[in-house]
Amino acid sequence: MALIAACGGRAPQPTTPPPSQPPIPQPTGDRHITWQRAETADAVPHAPPAAGSYRVHLIDVGTGLAILIQGADFTMLYDAGTNDRDEKPSRVIAYLAAALGPSGDGELCGDPPAGASRAIDHIVLSHPHFDHASALDTVLHCYEVKQFWDSGRVNATVFYRELMSAVSTEPGLTYHTAADVPGDHTVAVKDSSFRIPAWQRFSEGDAVQLGEGARFTILHAEPKAVKDVNENSVVVLVELGRTRLLLVGDAPSGTRLDPSYPAGEVEAFLIDHHAADIRADILQVGHHGSKTSSRRAFLEAVAPSLALLSSGPRIYGKTVLPDAEVIEELARLHTAVLRTDERDADCPVHGRMGGDHGPGGCDSWIITIAP
């Protein structure tokens, strides 16, 4: 396994959900992992976690995914996008401003104080779908991003063209892909070509140092243009001290089937090639809780005590996710589930980060990992 060098109190107690919501199971025994709902900016700690502690933020972006990971000496963003028309990149920017501090200039960045400049050490794009990437060009505009990780699968869309334009013009950024680096360091998207000066190739099994006691390891990355872009999902195991977080994007098992069916596609690959690596305390539930992912064999191999499920009201095909069968399977494993869709239909919160329009912003979660 290659090791790639990179830039690099008491935990808050879980809050009680509103009476109208079903209670979220709380950890038993070892309580070094706790969580609380974050409805407004005041609920988000404005300073980094103490040395040896970590935070994982499940940002409610509506129908999409955005996860921020913090240590005392690093920041990492895994995806940032939404499929909801009423949701804007300002939702993610407002959350980052609360957690990391305001940054950038102009209205896109929320009009931060003059000279405000903050860095994000790593951004990992799981795969080039709009609901995972629509806010990333704005994040690159507002924050100084040092390392950007992408499968290398090109999606010939306007949003991906705008993202590659932002990547190519970000000062000091190193772009990493699982694809071979072109000799001229250019990527072509929708009749536009962008030259990315600092471009490096990564491989399955590469480990990336995040900070003291933290790193992530690449478990899957498919750069080729396969029919289902979800199969290009970059899967990473993030080790935060003694806690393991598995981020899978939309990594699929195949068509929509009950979780009792055998695992296939990416989930089968992970079981076959990384059985020990995928065991984790915290799992980001694949494909927003769709039956295309989360086969029983895969969930049993991961054996998470906590699951992060980001979904919203936008219909995928003919279905609003998550699927009940996936929720039932997680319950069978006695896994606590934190969801971003609990109050999409009727959010009682005023002053949500990024505004009170759209389904997002009501059910973000902060997971605190103590030493």
58 DSSP β-pair partners: 67, 365
Backbone angles phi, psi at 355, to 5 degrees: 105, 165
Q: In the chain, how many domains are there?
A: 1
Tokens of 365: 């979660």
Q: Is residue 23 part of a domain?
A: no
Q: Is residue 33 part of a domain?
A: no
Kindly report each contact of residues 21-27 with a partner whose C-beta sits within 8 Å and lies 24 or more positions away, as own/partner: 21/342, 21/343, 24/336, 24/337, 24/338, 25/334, 25/336, 26/336, 27/305, 27/306, 27/336
CB 367 within 8 A of CB 306: yes
At 26 the pLDDT is: 54
CB 305 within 8 A of CB 331: no
CB 236 within 8 A of CB 230: no
Beta strands in 205-359 (DSSP E): 207-211, 214-220, 235-240, 243-247, 282-284, 306-309, 315-316, 319-320, 336-339
Tokens of 64: 């999409």
At 12 the pLDDT is: 39
- pLDDT per residue as tens digits for the range 251-270: 999 999 999 999 999 999 99
User: What is the signed CA dihedral for 90, 21, 326, 306, rounded to 10 degrees?
Assistant: 80
Q: Is residue 213 part of a domain?
A: yes
At 24 the pLDDT is: 54
d(CA 230, CA 251): 6
- pLDDT per residue as tens digits for the range 209-223: 999 999 999 999 999
Q: Is residue 30 part of a domain?
A: no
- What is the CA 349 to chain-centroid distance, rounded? 24
- Residue 277's nearest CA partner among 237, 248, 306 is 237
The CATH number for 76's domain is: 3.60.15.10
- Give the β-pairing of 192-195 and 199-201: unpaired
Domain assignment of residue 286, given as a range: 3-7+40-369
- H/E segment holding residue 167: helix 158-169
- Residue written as tokens 């990564």? 202
Q: Is residue 120 part of a domain?
A: yes
Sequence-separated (6 or more) residues with CB below 8 Å from residue 130: 81, 83, 157, 159
CB 336 within 8 A of CB 27: yes
Which amino acid appears at position 340 of this protein?
Answer: T
- Residue written as tokens 């407004």? 40
How many CA atoms lie within 13 Å of 275's alpha carbon, on the beta-carbon side?
Answer: 5
CB 58 within 8 A of CB 311: no
Q: Is residue 29 part of a domain?
A: no
Segments of the chain with pLDDT less than 50: 2-23, 28-29
Q: What is the CA radius of gyration of the chain?
A: 19
DSSP 176: E
In angstroms, how far is the first alpha carbon of the chain from the final one? 26
3 state SS of 166? helix
- H/E segment holding residue 169: helix 158-169
Residue 101: left (phi > 0), alpha (psi -120 to 50), or beta? left
* Cα 91 to Cα 80, 138, 353, 361, distances in angstroms: 10, 11, 6, 7
Q: Is residue 20 part of a domain?
A: no
At 31 the pLDDT is: 81
3 state SS of 174? strand
CB 248 within 8 A of CB 284: yes
Q: Is residue 28 part of a domain?
A: no
